[in-house]
Amino acid sequence: MEDMKYKIEKIDSYRWRIPKEGKMQVDGVVYADENMLEEIRKDESLQQVINVSHLPGILLHSLGMPDIHWGYGFPIGGVAAFDIDTGVVSPGGVGYDINCGVRLLKTGLYRVEIINKLESLVNALFINIPSGVGSHRKDIRLSLQEEKNVLKNGARWAVSQGYGAKEDLAYIEENGCIAGANPEFVSNRALERGRAQLGTLGSGNHFVEVGYVSEIYNEKIAHVLGLEKDRVTIVVHTGSRGLGYQICDDFIRVMIDASREYHIELPDRQLCCAPIKSPQGQEYLSAMACAANYAFANRQMITHWVRESFERTLNISPKDAQLSLLYDVCHNIAKFEEHMVDGQKKRVCVHRKGATRSFPPYHPDIPDAYAITGQPVLIPGDMGRYSYVLVGTENAYTDTFGSTCHGAGRVMSRNQAIKTAKGRSIAQELKEKGILVRADSRATLDEELSEAYKDVAEVVNVVEHAGISRKVAQLKPLCVIKG
């Protein structure tokens, strides 16, 4: 396919190469179908794939997933791996909402058992889980030392405080705690922002969604994951709140200076970075791990209040509700992992920004219960359509550093979405489709209307046909609380 702005070569129906030229260290590779590529060309995300390919120590290729769109530094939907000795770490390759991620709860309940209690349920969730900009819980008072314990221990801290069970930890990426977190590298301002916000949903596209399994595509894998047609599910999508944002902001300033100090030529200042082994690189990775652990604890606490809301609203016991954690994945993270590079197994630093880990069957880093299926991959859509459960594959492990898409991907800015929603009641439109919503403000719903996003079914279609994830089930929403 010819392109006036970028040299793009078709690899196959779902992959496109931007060949290495000039100061690019590697090719760019974008996962998309032809129609999607036309949409992707409308913003600067392809240029960002090219920009990332300039960074020192980048390995094999600079990747774009089908939900790719313009972001800070890296595109959202960008993946890149770096050599530990010669490569760099960049806050722009992780993003502001460090370990924004998603978790899926399965239940022992069927849709018919809750359909008449949806209004009470969505109201209970909205009361129990604070949402919106700057939201905080009045009943949690963290001391500075206790907050640092959260940053070091992640979901383990939450479980130790009675938020969920020890069994939950096995079903969280990295068991809910990334090693190497050191709160001494987190600024006082970041700590201050984080202390009041633990256990809150936040704003933007964050949500808690009660839904049900609407389609099963692979009965065998669905059975292993514990998914059954018409069973109720809950998706929790949030991250590290103001603490993560502040850590990113603090280290962007550090990395601008570090890029100059280490004579790193940047095609875009937003890709400011430092060598992985430099003091600045190590300090950022330690602070980033703190934010990631905070996010794991945050989702764990919200899960506890989801369980509580179900049990009280439906007047059932935990045994009858059976709200168990299927899996929890990171979307914005830099991690050390082993991958094959030029025929050799190599420890590398993988940046996933708006991308999900997609590890294959029998990988040592996935729960034993899912060894035969591969890692669960959770792909939320917009609040008016559907979400998907997939599993990881060998192809992802060899072709994308074990990565796949993370969601639908925006096609409208928030301002465009608000203009599109003018004169409409998004809540009423959703109600007519059988979906109840509660939000901190009307503007939140307007910003998050379905048309603001790609159809996640098309995104999932690309990653399945490209072989970097395998489709298992579709989930449809019944009620949603938004930030």
Report H helices in 241-349: 241-261, 279-314, 318-321
Give the C-alpha separation, 224 to 213, whole Å.
15
Residue 399: both structure tokens together: 């072709």
Question: For residue range 2-31, what is the model confidence (pLDDT) as tens digits?
Answer: 444 779 999 999 999 999 999 999 999 999
Cβ atoms of residues 65 and 45 within 8 Å: no
Residue 415 has pLDDT above 60, yes or no: yes
Tell me the residue ranges of DSSP E strands in 401-451: 403-404, 436-439
Question: 32, 34, 44: which is closest to 76 by C-alpha?
Answer: 44
Question: For residue range 262-316, what is the model confidence (pLDDT) as tens digits?
Answer: 999 999 999 999 999 999 999 999 999 999 999 999 999 999 999 999 999 999 9
Q: Would you name the residues annotated as active-site residues?
A: 406
Residue 132 has pLDDT above 60, yes or no: no
| Mean pLDDT, rounded, of the chain | 94
Q: What global pTM score does this model have?
A: 0.96
Residue 1 is predicted with a pLDDT of 38
Residue 204 is predicted with a pLDDT of 75
346 annotated as ligand-binding: no
Cβ atoms of residues 383 and 434 within 8 Å: no
pLDDT band per the 50, 70, 90 thresholds, residue 469:
very high
Q: Buried b vs exposed e over 353-371: b needs ≥16 C-beta within 10 Å?
A: bbbbbbbbbebeebbeebe
Give the number of residues written for the chain.
483
Please report, rounded to a whole number, the percentage of residues in the chain having pLDDT higher than 70.
97
- Strand, helix or coil at 352? strand
Cβ atoms of residues 349 and 152 within 8 Å: no
Residue 119 has pLDDT above 60, yes or no: yes
Cβ atoms of residues 66 and 31 within 8 Å: yes
211 annotated as ligand-binding: no
**Amino acid identity, position 218:** N
Residue 75 has pLDDT above 60, yes or no: yes
Residue 187 has pLDDT above 90, yes or no: yes
Residue 96: both structure tokens together: 């502001």
Question: For residue range 358-404, what is the model confidence (pLDDT) as tens digits?
Answer: 999 999 999 999 999 999 999 999 888 999 999 999 999 999 999 99
205 annotated as ligand-binding: yes
Residue 150 has pLDDT above 60, yes or no: yes
Residue 442 is predicted with a pLDDT of 84
Question: Beta 27-31 vs 61-69: how paired, if at all?
Answer: parallel
pLDDT band per the 50, 70, 90 thresholds, residue 136:
low
223 annotated as ligand-binding: no
Distance from the Cα of residue 236 to its chain's centroid: 11
Question: 267, 260, 261, 281: which is closest to 25 by C-alpha?
Answer: 267
Domains of the chain from N-terminus onward: 101-482 (3.90.1860.10)
381 annotated as ligand-binding: yes
Give the C-alpha separation, 246 to 220, whole Å.
44
Residue 221 has pLDDT above 50, yes or no: yes
pLDDT band per the 50, 70, 90 thresholds, residue 82:
very high
Give the C-alpha separation, 358 to 330, whole Å.
11
- Say which range, 67-81, 123-137, 242-256, 461-475, has the weakest mean pLDDT: 123-137
482 annotated as ligand-binding: yes
Residue 2 is predicted with a pLDDT of 42
How far from 241 is each of 78, 98, 100, 147, 247, CA to CA, in Å?
21, 8, 9, 14, 10
Residue 133 is predicted with a pLDDT of 56
The larger pLDDT score, comparing residue 483 to residue 117, is at 117
Residue 111 has pLDDT above 70, yes or no: yes
